[in-house]
Amino acid sequence: NAGVMQNPRHLVRRRGQEARLRCSPMKGHSHVYWYRQLPEEGLKFMVYLQKENIIDESGMPKERFSAEFPKEGPSILRIQQVVRGDSAAYFCASSPAVQTVSGNTIYFGEGSWLTVV
C-alpha cells in the first residue's frame, strides 16, 4: 500500500519560471492538504482540497500560487513566476476524511524541495 507520493523530490527553477508540484494521495484517500516549510520555520498550512474542489485556501499566498485536485490524476500545486522566497519544502498530505475534532490522521509525503536561483 503505497504512501503519499510526491514528485519531483527536488526541483530547481530560475526566477520567473513556473514550478509544478504533484501529489498522489494514498489509495482510498480523497482529501489532500498542502503545507510549506520554509528554512528555520514550522510547517504552514496552504490549502485543503477534495476531488475537484478547493475547500480551504486560507493559507495560500494571494498571487502566483494555485492548486487543483482533478477528478483523475494527482493534485497539483502550481507556482507561477517563482521568486527566491518561494524556495522551501512543499509537503502534501492526505486523509480518508477531513480531520475534524475527532482527529483523523493525515499522512504526509516525503516532500518536494524547490530551489529558486
Partner 1 sequence: SQKIEQNSEALNIQEGKTATLTCNYTNYSPAYLQWYRQDPGRGPVFLLLIRENEKEKRKERLKVTFDTTLKQSLFHITASQPADSATYLCALLLNQAGTALIFGKGTTLSVSS
Q: Which residues bind partner 1 (CB under 8 A)?
A: 4, 33, 35, 40-45, 48, 55-56, 58-59, 91, 93, 98-111, 113
- Is the CB of 13 or the CB of 36 nearer to partner 1? 36
**Nearest distance from residue 72's CB to partner 1, in Å?**
23
**Nearest distance from residue 74's CB to partner 1, in Å?**
16
**Nearest distance from residue 81's CB to partner 1, in Å?**
26
Separation between Cα atoms, residue 110 and residue 37, nearest integer Å: 12
**Nearest distance from residue 21's CB to partner 1, in Å?**
13
- Is the CB of 50 or the CB of 81 nearer to partner 1? 50
**Cβ-Cβ contacts under 8 Å for 14 (sequence gap 6 or more):** 82, 116, 117
Separation between Cα atoms, residue 59 and residue 56, nearest integer Å: 8
- Is the CB of 19 or the CB of 90 nearer to partner 1? 90
